[in-house]
Structure 1
Amino acid sequence: MKLLVYLAAIVLAGIIYFKYFKKEPLNERGFGSTYTEVPEEVQIKYIPADFEADLDEEMALAVLSNPVRYAREFDQLIFDFNRALLNHVANRMGLPDTLKVQIQKEYEKQHPYLRKLYFDDFVALKDTTDNIAPVWYENESSNAVDVLYEVASKYTCTLVNQVLVAVLKTHEGSLYVKGSKINTPCGVALLEGLQPLIKRLKESAAINDFSRSKGLIEEKVERAIAELATMEVRDKKAINRELQTKIWGINVSNSSVEISAISIIKIGFKLDKYFNIDINSKRKVVTVTLPQPEILSADVYPRVDRLDIGWMREVGSIDFNRNIDLLRKEFRREVIESDAFDQAKSRAYELMETMLTPLITSLDKGYVLRVKFVEPQAYLDGKPADDPFPN
């Protein structure tokens, strides 16, 4: 009996030791890796610090709403924001100014690669069809902020980990963080930097969306466009929503809404963004350069198929608007994930060949037609106005 008591005491002591006294170092992914002695230079203890980001919300929302037009401003926005995140992590870790300078320099080395990832992902997720529909549903700026959060969440941990590991002394890629209920440097950047900033932008976006939506009612716009539509995608979807009214946690009334919709999405090229024809007489090559294909229009025609309203529940316009907007987003998401954009490029080449080949052969039968597309990197470099594909 005494032996069992002694064994139980030893096991209990071991559990207490491993749970409360044995500290695990955090590597660049935030996981523990064990070593017997922790060098002093790789030990980190967080200190209090406030996240500071010099951000002009109005300017940021304008840039996020039109990232292609403001590509260089978008690049600067991401650069400043990531520097603020890294500076906050450094402040929380109590790093000296010399290391903070090294961290900023290390990020400057990695930014040219990261900026392309941010821009490509943001443009792919952002609804650049036309700002009218999102503005009308009072969520254009809010959607842009949501996309920024999704993209930034994807790359923030990689950014923080790579920069810190490159600058700080580590033990096999690990840092030892003192204290209880501590977070990784990545967690500090996400929870104390990214999320508060996104919250600030969301609050400003809600006000901006409301103001723009109300102003759209009184606005009449006429403008010239230059578009080449090469693909049309038609689809049909339906959505069903059950709305409940509860009193003291008990469901007392149900309402059911079923909405179906068809969509007609046109994909093509905005020629007012970029269109160039270059004739190289030496090589006998005619090069037509077009912008990247995008969604030119996304028309959604909703229909209410079923509407059962409970005795204590009213279905407001916001319920209909939210459901219709969900259908619109789903139509667009499926088109983006399909091969419709590649088909649009192929169709553009066929059209250019049909339209220009007779003209080219009239000049000289030896001429060859080439069709190219401006890469997103050209917008970041501020060069879409010049031919990014010189012969």
Structure 2
Amino acid sequence: MLPAHRMVAHTFYQEADRILASLISTLRDFELAEDALQDALLIALERWPIEGIPPNPGAWITTTARRKAIDRLRRASTLARKHEILQELLQKEGQHGTGAREAEAIPDERLKLIFTCCHPALALEAQVALTLQTLGGLSTAEIASAFLVPLPTMAQRLVRAKRKIRDAGIPYQVPPIETIGERMDAVFSVLYLIFNEGYSVSSGNMLLRTELCDEAIHLARVLVQLLTQESLLDTLPEALGLLALMLLHDARRNARLGPEQELVLLEEQDRSLWNQDKIQEGQTLLEQALHMRRSGPYQVQAAISALHVEAKRFEETDWMQIAALYGILMRMTPSPVIELNRVVAVAMADNPLHGLSLLDRPEMQKALSNYHPFHAARADLLRRAGRPQQALEAYIQALKLCQNEIERSFLQRRLAELS
């Protein structure tokens, strides 16, 4: 690959969400913004090898995409709304050009985009899916897999959501303070899902997508700043809890892969590689949230993560308290996945057989039959309980369902050990 082509790919990888947020802010049309960005990337692939890489690649692509949007609007029908947008674009062309100042203004647009995607006029699932695609950079196939729906179904939902925002004239802005609360659950969910996809990639040959983790943490910081400035005490504790949760997880990032890029479980991680600055910041934020005495699920999850990072060795982990916190979380937001995590904590606090008896309940088997971490957890408890043949069968089932190559390699190593 030519150096210029590598730079195009790198710029898209690092800045696509910021550029797209800026375009959507002006165009108020998701599909037009996406098409204009693709046009700009194709032009960059053609020109940069000949003309050289521009000093500010992100600003160059933003300006080029805006110009391609102008071309598309000029060719489009003569609707008054399109003329209005075209006039706005032409004014921006005269004001900004390709300077670095323009790129600096882009990050603030992403929080507006999240609130736009999380408008209550859209179904909650559509809100989350649309933001994951636009800001999280997830493909339609990845989102469909996350929601356990067929690819064509998810593609239709995304198209409908984008057009509803456009046709209904949903404003591209952080909503008025008095209405911000009705969108916060969706905003929290979106940020957490973006972080999770970065921390544990659902498919492909990478375990981590660090740029997604960094993006989610950055946006959570901006959100905390906004809620603090507006003294929104009803939602601030959960925002602090969410940011703390991300930081406490992300602190373990460097220890999760071995020298051969193999998966390293929490039990075997070199804890000296954990980022102590992030741990300290996460603990401070969690304490700040808990002192506000408005408990919520993200604060509970952050407290669980804090217990993990406080243990100097795996054997010192306070599994009884972790199991108790998962019990509280189950009462707040009942979920088979949360129950799975609670059961694993119970097994670690007590013994594997106790955990297996809870996992083998019919309702758990039914709810999580297609969830590979369920079979992987069950296989691990069977291995610890000295039942190698049953563990082998459970690992095989987990391997059938797992779509991440690094996790698959780990499961195959476990299979080889048992064989």
Q: Scaled by the length of structure 1, what TM-score is found?
A: 0.21
Give the TM-score normalised by the residue count of structure 2: 0.20
Name whichever structure is richer in helix by fraction: 2
Indicate the structure whose relative CO is greater, using CA pairs within 8 Å and at least 6 residues apart.
1
Structure showing greater Rg: 1
